[in-house]
Amino acid sequence: MMIKTTEMKKILFGLMRAVYRLEIRYDTDNLEGGDHYHSVFSEKWHIDAQLNNEQDTYVFILNRTETLLNGKPPEKLMDKIMLEAGNSYYPVHLLVSPQLKIIDVMNFSDIVEKWGKNALELQQRMPSPELERYLRFAENNLADSRKFIASLYRNAFYKLYFRDIFTPTAKDEVRLIRWDNFPQREMNQSYLYQVASTNENETCLSGEIMKIVPEHNGTYESTYTTGTSGEIIRISGRIATELEGIRFIKHIQLASETVSTQ
């Protein structure tokens, strides 16, 4: 049985192998005109994690496969560029704390080398102004491991998975989660949330959007279901906000297809 206290380690396994399916359903509704937009993004994540006893840390090896948009591989040029350039990052080897905070990227130099070769190949295969702009942006993310880790956290999987959920906050304490490009591109939303443990294997996060714009309201909520060793079994969440008569909603589901621990 797991006892949730501020001192309790989040994960307690020696070895874990898991496959997760991430699905994000995006809905937009015009509250006056009835117009509706719907899309579904999904991808599969493969994880091997092992305890490093000497340092009391974990090594996580991640791979990403089966990235789909509305059930099909991305078709737009920019989506293809982002996907193919991003594939240079994998497999990524992360040094992780027992509270699932990313400490370092262990194969960072290999990723930078692989990305450089992949960038040259993309420039030859699909030359375009869009590609050149994206490569300049991505190159800045690879300037050092700190910037690279920050760029990883812009991905929904890292934002959800590598987060301390077993340390409930005090009633007057809040934490921050930021969703990039939500509700739409060029707009980032930050949510203040609190953590509450509902039972020994379920933790809920809930909160509201920061009131940067007075008339802009929104809510964030997610539920984490964990196994007996702290391994994540499922994450279900919902983000909702309204802006200028339009409701934007993200439904999030990260579910394990297989997960085993020792």
Domain extents for the chain? 15-261
Cβ of 211: how many Cβ atoms within 10 Å? Answer: 11
User: Distance between CA 126 and CA 131 in Å, rounded?
Assistant: 8
Mean pLDDT of 183-211: 80
CA pseudo-torsion sign 174, 176, 177, 178: positive
Number of alpha carbons in the 13 Å side-chain half-sphere of residue 68: 13
Mean pLDDT of 157-175: 82
Name the token pair of 192: 């203040």
Tell how far CA 49 is from the center of its chain: 17
The letter for the amino acid at 128 is S
CB 235 within 8 A of CB 252: yes
Cis peptide before 98, with omega less than 30 degrees from 0?
Answer: no
Give tens-digit pLDDT for 115-161.
999 999 989 988 888 888 888 888 889 999 999 999 999 899 999 99
- pLDDT for 101 beyond 90: yes
Say which residues have a Cβ less than 8 Å from residue 11's Cβ, sequence separation at least 6: 49, 58, 98, 100, 229, 230, 231
Residue 243: exposure state from Cβ atoms within 10 A (0-12, 13-18, ≥19): middle
User: Confidence class of residue 2 from pLDDT cuts 50, 70 and 90?
Assistant: very low
Nearest to 240 by CA among 69, 31, 21: 31
Q: Which residue has the higher pLDDT, 117 or 31?
A: 117
CA pseudo-torsion sign 70, 75, 76, 81: positive
| pTM (predicted TM-score) | 0.89
Say which residues have a Cβ less than 8 Å from residue 250's Cβ, sequence separation at least 6: 24, 25, 26, 27, 179, 182, 237, 238, 239, 240
Q: What is the predicted pLDDT for the residue at 7? A: 44
User: Distance between CA 252 and CA 178 in Å, rounded?
Assistant: 15
User: Confidence class of residue 1 from pLDDT cuts 50, 70 and 90?
Assistant: very low
Cis peptide before 183, with omega less than 30 degrees from 0?
Answer: yes
For the chain, what percent of residues have pLDDT higher than 90? 52
Q: Which residue has the higher pLDDT, 22 or 37?
A: 22
